[in-house]
Amino acid sequence: MKKSNICGLIALVLTLAMVLSVAIGANAAGTLPAAEIDSILNTTTDTNKTSNAVTEAVAKVFDSVVLVRNYTTTRSSSGYYGWGWGYGNDFGGGQGVERLAGFGSGTVVTEYGHVLTNYHVVDGATRVTVFDGENEYAADVVAFDEDKDVAVLLAPELKLPAVELGDSDSLQVGETAIVIGNPMSENFFRTTTVGVISSLDREIRSQSVDKYGRRGITTNSMIQTDAAINNGNSGGGLFNVLGQLMGIPSMVYRGSNSLFSSSASVESIGMCVPINVAKEYIREALEKYDADAVQKDLDQRASENNRISAGTDMTDKPRLGITMTTLNESSSAVANGILPRGCIVREVETGSPAEAAGIREGDIIVEVDGVVVSDSSALQQEILKHNADDTVSVKLYRAENNPLEAEYVSDIGDGDYMDVDVTLKVMEKPAA
């Protein structure tokens, strides 16, 4: 081929390339067709392909996790060891002010409204509620163990599906761990985190007190996971991929750890109470459950609320017949684990139900009908559930020496818990 022909062919190719380039540039400079835009944006995701065992398990149990709120009533007090004055079924030591003291999570475990949580979530509460995302319901602590950090609540008005309990003895290191709870309260309601079971049978030692406030050391065997656990997750659910409840998230290690060098830090170490440990207390709660009694209690609450709203006089309600005051951590005897929290009896009225039952000055009432009463407000609430001639079971702590007469805390000595039955009756309040 002649050189001139080759040069002509090259020139032709270059010319065509320039024309094509100009044409493409012109097309890009113009507007895009709507069909092309729609083809880019109108996409779909096949959830059948993205679903897995975790998403299926979460969908199964998600609505069964609730927020647990711990309310306490505080009031002014005075007197030796921080004991103020109180009267019978009235609040003691001044105007009571309720505040939200803490919050945590819980999991519905029965169709009757039983909610499993940690004891430390409800510790010291004068009122406990559960929140389902829309409404807040009253709840009672019906079974618990402070040392094992387990509590079972009953919120009969709560209508949410119950989860299936698993067998925590069958857990395997490395299997998927799903945690659902409420870090930062309702701000992150029902947050899901996923990790693995990091270890089993971790022996965790901690300082504890019995359910009435006396101190001790306890060791618990717990499940370790790296699924994120934050403030507010306590009491929630640790689930497997079958959606079975395997444990209760309870604690997490953060920051420097004194077991290692001063510069060492730890993260993603969370501990959970095994569900098999909690089953004992769920059984206890179920054995106590009485549908008729629950309905009676609901009716009683509604009646009392109506009476309070209407300003109705409450003088026809029965009383124990004592003058009492709250005994809490402001007392050095409680702070040092010598005495439990509760209501200390300052005076027993002559001819009262308390006198007939053998209750004495200096006794500390810690429980009524199986419900822990950590202050006079809680005691009042329990007594108000009853009518005249009802018999209530009262647990009290009686020290070796009357705490009211002890000059020093060391003079109080040891003591024992006692159970007495008190038959209530209506009594006039003594003159002020």
89, 80 contact by CB (below 8 A): no
- Element housing 96 (H / E): none
| Phi-psi label, residue 94: left if phi above 0, alpha if psi -120 to 50, beta otherwise | left
Give me the half-sphere count of Cα atoms (radius 13 Å) on the Cβ side of residue 359: 34
Domains within the chain, CATH numbers bracketed: 165-276 (2.40.10.10), 290-423 (2.30.42.10)
Rounded-to-integer distance, Cα 334 and Cα 409, Å: 10
pLDDT for res 14: 56
Q: Are 69 and 189 in contact (CB under 8 A)?
A: no
Amino acid 259: pLDDT: 40
pLDDT for the residue 261: 39
How many CB atoms within 10 Å of residue 116? 29
Task: Provide the pLDDT for residue 87.
Answer: 27
The pTM is what? 0.63
| Coil, helix or strand at residue 144 | strand
Note the pLDDT of residue 303: 67
pLDDT tens by residue, the chain, 432 residues: 555 565 566 655 555 555 445 444 444 568 999 999 999 999 999 999 999 999 999 999 999 999 999 988 765 443 333 333 232 323 333 445 678 889 999 999 999 999 999 999 999 888 999 999 989 999 999 999 988 999 999 999 999 999 999 999 999 999 999 999 999 888 899 999 999 999 998 887 776 666 566 666 677 889 999 999 998 999 999 999 999 999 999 988 865 444 433 445 567 899 999 999 999 999 999 999 999 988 888 887 776 665 544 444 455 678 889 998 888 766 778 877 889 888 999 999 999 999 999 999 999 999 998 888 877 877 888 888 888 889 999 999 999 999 999 888 888 999 999 999 999 988 776 554
Q: Residue 12: is it exposed, middle or buried by C-beta count within 10 angstroms (0-12/13-18/19+)? A: exposed
Tell me, what's the pLDDT at 216?
A: 66
Q: What 3-state DSSP class applies to 90?
A: coil
Residue 280, H or E segment: helix 275-288
Per the CB < 8 A criterion, the answer to whether 122 and 145 are in contact is no
User: What pLDDT, on a 0 to 100 scale, did the predictor assign at position 22?
Assistant: 44
pLDDT at residue 43 in the model: 94
Buried b / exposed e over 340-357, threshold 16 CB at 10 Å, is: bbbbbbbbbbeebbbbeb
